[in-house]
Amino acid sequence: MTIRELSHGIRSALTPRFGAGEAAAMERIIFEDVMRLTPVEAVLRADSTVPPFIPEKIRAILTRLQNGEPIQYVMEHARFCGLSLKVTPDVLIPRPETEQMTDMVADFCGDRTDMRLLDCGTGSGCIAISLARRLRFPAVTAIDVSAAALAVARENAAACGVSVDFRLADMLDAGSMPAAQFDVIVSNPPYVMESERTLMEQHVLEHEPGLALFVPDGDPLRFYRAVIGYAASHLADDGAVFFEINPLLSDRFAALAAEAGFSEVEITADLYGRQRFAVITRRR
């Protein structure tokens, strides 16, 4: 079998389910991961014969994709802020919106050195690791309630060559939270209401961890309330709290912040125009 024939087989298998554009994107990822070929190299070597074990390996990948498993879990990595990070079903797959929030935090910190950051609900460690790489000599702490997620995050930090203090802690349990002061607190907590399940794609519901996604309709702001309450006594002067939020709940954050003594709240849209981020600032 040649590379050209293999390419045709991949697209023929994936296009009926995912469409031509997504099938082509998946093919590129498969070629890069399995054969270490860029799209240009695949074209230049189209008539080359592939080793006999390659088609069998790719057939197994295609079966998992056709069964609805996200390609990031199948290939065991996802791209985030220019990094390749390990992902497993124990952690959420990083989204572009979260990259945007990470950029916002980096812009806020600028060229300042020795910034103290806390990432609440770190999952794969994507935010904490990206900021540890981008900022100047930061001290980054990251917490999660899942020991399995922290194992993935620690592996990612080691692979990226950064130092992050990962800790097992529950945002809803103030006694388990770090006792230190922080210049920045950032969090992408569970925020999808249970009633929104019917609006979500099936592959997300079936494969990504519900613990990191869903909150009860009766108390959808529970994690934000807990983190803001924690920030009231652990956020330094001129510090800020950055949240990724549910756009359906964006109008509640000013009151939530005011309850904890914060008066400066800014709601910012994501790249799609949805009210996706809340930034709470403490002025000196």
Q: What is the pTM of this model?
A: 0.93
Q: In angstroms, how far is CA 226 from the centroid of its own chain? A: 21
Question: Where in 31-138 does DSSP place strands (E)?
Answer: 78-80, 83-85, 116-120
Question: Where in the chain does DSSP place strands (E)?
Answer: 78-80, 83-85, 116-120, 139-144, 165-168, 182-187, 192-193, 214-215, 235-244, 264-269, 275-281
pLDDT for 283? 80
pLDDT for 202? 87
Instruction: Write out the two tokens for 58.
Output: 């790719």
Instruction: Going residue by residue through the chain, which has 284 residues, state the pLDDT in tens, using 9 for 90 and above.
Output: 999 999 999 999 999 999 999 999 999 999 999 999 999 999 999 999 999 999 999 999 999 999 999 999 999 999 999 999 999 999 999 999 999 999 999 999 999 999 999 999 999 999 999 999 999 999 999 999 999 999 999 999 999 999 999 999 999 999 999 999 999 999 999 999 999 998 888 888 899 999 899 999 999 999 999 999 999 999 999 999 999 999 999 999 999 999 999 999 999 999 999 999 999 999 86
Distance CA 263, CA 278 (A): 13
Which residues 6+ apart lie within 8 Å of 75 measured at CB? 29, 30, 33, 61
pLDDT for 162? 98
Strand-pair category, 235-244 with 192-193 = unpaired
Phi-psi region for residue 247, left (φ > 0), alpha (ψ -120 to 50) or beta?
A: alpha
Is residue 127 packed enough to be buried (19+ CB in 10 Å), middle (13-18) or exposed (0-12)?
A: buried
